[in-house]
Copies of this chain bind each other. A is one copy, B any other.
Amino acid sequence: MNRVLVATGGGDCPGLNAVIRAIVKRAGQEKNWEVLGSIQAFDGILSEPTEVILLDEKKVSGIHVRGGTIIGTTNKGGPFAWPVKRADGTYEYADRSDEMIRKLGFMGVDAVINIGGDGSQKISQALYEKGLNIIGVPKTIDNDLQATDFTFGFQTAVQIATEAVDKLVTTAQSHNRVLILEVMGREAGWIALHAAVAGGAEVCLIPEIPYDINKVVERLEQRFNRGKGFAIIVIAEGAKPVGGDVSGQKSSEVGYENLRLIGAAARVMNEIKQTGFEADMRETVLGHLQRGGIPNAYDRILATEFGVKAFEMVLKKQYGYMVAYRHPDIVAVPLKEVIGIEKLVNPDSSLIKAARGIGISFGD
């Protein structure tokens, strides 16, 4: 019996389960293949006792409609940086990659499919260089991987953010308010940009286009002067002002939780107030609601294509490669050529132009 082991790493993302299901269903069409799942990324292999489960058709039945991942995930560590608590409560990090590869051998694992973001794929490549038969499946809810046109999860997140804008519009309109919605995107503003266009925001602030708060206020004033007493601002969590170091605003006297809370939306609200612009303003942080829930049709389809392709790459022994969507094809690309390359919003792209064309200001 041949064995392929699947792991999901990094933040959870709608569509992970559809990838897992597709791998299991596709493997079921071959004789002599079974699929194992490592619980919480590679932790399941390294834990004592081992947490590795058999993934059969019954276990994956119907899971493609559910968010998250049935085999769990984690953001921490990985086999090359396994956190070990010291006596004083601090951590050091151990390289347990050799041990992990050895354990995979004991389990009779012939190949590994590692579903995860850029960090996870760097681990894939490092394990591949150590001789592991590994294949990557890209995952980024933020859409910030250069290697692939899109990944699963992004369209669902955009839909959730857009529905949030839709909801805010009615309340903004009723109260003549400026409502500021903060969405995911530390380095790349894809979700903010898409939700701003789809929802019909007036202002969109993204990391790729540093904003001038006076330009933002100019757009708001233009809006309010024309008799419209409300406006929507969609802001990526990583948006920043021109030349801007925003750290000064995260004053040291507030604790960790507050630092997180005083996010981009609240900061921009304060900056707007400081210009003297007078309007009733409110902010909403979408947070974890973006990751959860039912993947939409688009993401389920893409995830299914990725899963089937990944298993077929196993059959072809295309190790050291990652699945990618290069419209309209699902292809295999060498991991080493794609890891570490971020895909940012191009300020000259047709989507940015379309956004400006319907009057969205980026504060520039």
B12 and A300 form a contact (CB under 8 A): no
Contacts of A123 in B (CB 8 A): none
Stretch in A65-73, A129-137, A207-215 touching the partner? A65-73
A292 and B67 form a contact (CB under 8 A): no
A74 and B262 form a contact (CB under 8 A): no
B359 and A168 form a contact (CB under 8 A): no
A301 and B149 form a contact (CB under 8 A): no
- Partner of A293 from B170, B269, B296, B311 at Cβ < 8 Å: B170
Nearest-neighbour CB distance to chain B for A60, whole angstroms, equals 10
Could you give, for residues 87-103 of chain A, a 1 whenever the CB lies within 8 Å of some chain B CB and a 0 otherwise? 00000000000000000
User: Does A26 reach chain B (CB closer than 8 Å)?
Assistant: yes
**What is the CA–CA distance of A75 and B175 in the complex, to the nearest angstrom?**
8
- Partner of A292 from B29, B168, B288, B304 at Cβ < 8 Å: B168
B198 and A300 form a contact (CB under 8 A): yes
Q: Report copies per complex.
A: 4
Nearest-neighbour CB distance to chain B for A253, whole angstroms, equals 6
Contacts of A25 in B (CB 8 A): 357-359
A173 and B287 form a contact (CB under 8 A): no
Could you give, for residues 154-176 of chain A, a 1 whenever the CB lies within 8 Å of some chain B CB and a 0 otherwise? 01001111111011111101111
Decide yes or no: A167 and B297 within 8 Å by CB, A68-B174, A258-B258, A304-B197 being known contacts: no
B297 and A194 form a contact (CB under 8 A): yes
- Partner of A297 from B158, B285, B304, B307 at Cβ < 8 Å: B158
Most central of A155, A266, A296 by chain B CB within 10 Å: A296
Decide yes or no: A179 and B309 within 8 Å by CB, A25-B357, A266-B257 being known contacts: no
Contacts of A330 in B (CB 8 A): 350, 354
User: Does A64 reach chain B (CB closer than 8 Å)?
Assistant: yes
Decide yes or no: A358 and B254 within 8 Å by CB, A64-B200, A171-B292, A297-B158 being known contacts: no
Chain B residue at minimum C-beta to C-beta distance from A308: B357
What is the size category of the interface that chain A forms with chain B?
35 or more
Could you give, for residues 185-205 of chain A, a 1 whenever the CB lies within 8 Å of some chain B CB and a 0 otherwise? 000000000110111100000
Nearest-neighbour CB distance to chain B for A305, whole angstroms, equals 4
Mostly helix, strand, loop or mixed at chain A's interface? Answer: helix
Contacts of A169 in B (CB 8 A): 62, 292
User: Does A270 reach chain B (CB closer than 8 Å)?
Assistant: yes
Nearest-neighbour CB distance to chain B for A122, whole angstroms, equals 20
The 7 closest A-B pairs by CB, nearest first: A167-B292, A67-B170, A308-B357, A68-B170, A68-B174, A12-B174, A198-B297
Enumerate chain A interface residues (CB-CB to B < 8 A): 8, 11-12, 16, 21-22, 25-26, 28-29, 40, 62, 64-69, 72-75, 149, 155, 158-164, 166-171, 173-176, 179, 194-195, 197-200, 229, 253-254, 257-258, 261-262, 266, 269-270, 282, 284-285, 287-289, 291-293, 296-298, 300-301, 304-305, 307-309, 311-312, 327-330, 349-351, 353-354, 357-359
